[in-house]
Amino acid sequence: MALSLAITSFGKTLSQVGDPRFRRVLFKGIGLTFVLLIAVYTIFLMFLNWIGAGQTVQELVGNISWVGDVFTFASMLLMIFLSIFLMVPVASAITSMFLDEVADAVEDRHYPHLSDVPSVGFSEGLKDSVNFLGVLIAANIFALLLYVIFTPFALFIFWGLNGFLLGREYFQLVAMRRVGRAEAKKLRKKHMGTIWLAGTLMAMPLSVPLLNLVIPILGAATFTHLYHQLEPSQGHHPSD
């Protein structure tokens, strides 16, 4: 049942790729995702240099000057490889930026009977994003120990952990638009198994270089469908 819902939601998302409005958001999302990936990658390299790992980086991609050399061929190849891990926080950031646009496009096409809802305020969205990013980073740092202990299962641990975290955030943000924060938390707990599975199915292609550039926007659309399939009667916004 959970797998069927996740697949159906993703199928509906793919069916809308030809919609000019949705495609416009998708292309904007891909462009900003790439820019954010470069920014996160640059910060990552600077962090390695700060902790004294710069020599290792230089051996891999040559002498890093942190500006021009970030765009060298060798450095870009390294960034594409590291995107397996770096795309998780990027996906989180993209969700908060484009969720309203994506959800509006999806709901106007597939759920036209729903009333309009106000956009999530910038400060409210920023607060959620920063809080979630902290949890995401802390959880993945802790997971490094599990990767070492259970090396053969490292990729599955990565998928499961980030699938849980990303699914939790995506569903929470989508549900908040319609029923508010408190009710969204209740619904998230109610459907946690399905949400975790859908999040894991999203985390898996996030670990595929280049393909992962399109996943954040497609994921936001997929979770919009998933929410409406799980709670078809919750298509309203609280009066409070």
| pLDDT score at 42 | 82
> Is residue 36 situated within a structural domain?
no
- The b/e string for 14-24 (b: 16+ C-beta within 10 A; e otherwise) is eebeeeeebee
> Is residue 144 situated within a structural domain?
yes
CA distance 13 to 219: 9
> Is residue 39 situated within a structural domain?
no
Residue 156 predicted with pLDDT over 90: yes
Average pLDDT of span 21-34: 90
Mean of pLDDT over the chain: 83
Q: Which of 134-138, 155-159, 178-182, 209-213 has the highest mean pLDDT?
A: 155-159
CA distance 125 to 93: 10
Residue 71 predicted with pLDDT over 90: no
Number of domains in the chain: 1
Nearest to 209 by CA among 79, 92, 90, 94: 79
> How many Å from the N-terminal Cα to the C-terminal Cα in the chain?
33
- Phi/psi region, residue 147 (left: phi>0; alpha: psi -120 to 50; beta: rest), is alpha
> Is residue 54 situated within a structural domain?
no
Q: Which residue has the tokens 């699938």?
A: 163
Alpha helices in the chain (DSSP H): 2-15, 20-50, 54-61, 73-110, 122-149, 154-190, 192-206, 215-230
Residue 3 predicted with pLDDT over 70: yes
> Is residue 37 situated within a structural domain?
no
**Which is more confident, 46 or 20?**
20
Nearest to 98 by CA among 185, 5, 232, 217: 217
What's the domain range around 112? 2-21+84-230
Nearest to 174 by CA among 230, 110, 112: 230
pTM above 0.85, yes or no: no
> Is residue 222 situated within a structural domain?
yes
> Is residue 16 situated within a structural domain?
yes
| pLDDT score at 233 | 67
Are the C-beta atoms of 10 and 59 separated by less than 8 Å?
Answer: no
Candidate from 8-12, 77-81, 122-126 with smallest mean pLDDT: 122-126
| pLDDT score at 107 | 93
| pLDDT score at 185 | 92
Residue 204 predicted with pLDDT over 90: yes
The torsion angles phi and psi of 173, rounded to 5 degrees, stand at -65, -40
> Is residue 101 situated within a structural domain?
yes
Q: How far is CA 108 from the centre of its chain?
A: 22
| pLDDT score at 120 | 66
| pLDDT score at 9 | 93
| pLDDT score at 219 | 93
The helix (run of H) or strand (run of E) holding residue 233 is none
| pLDDT score at 62 | 54
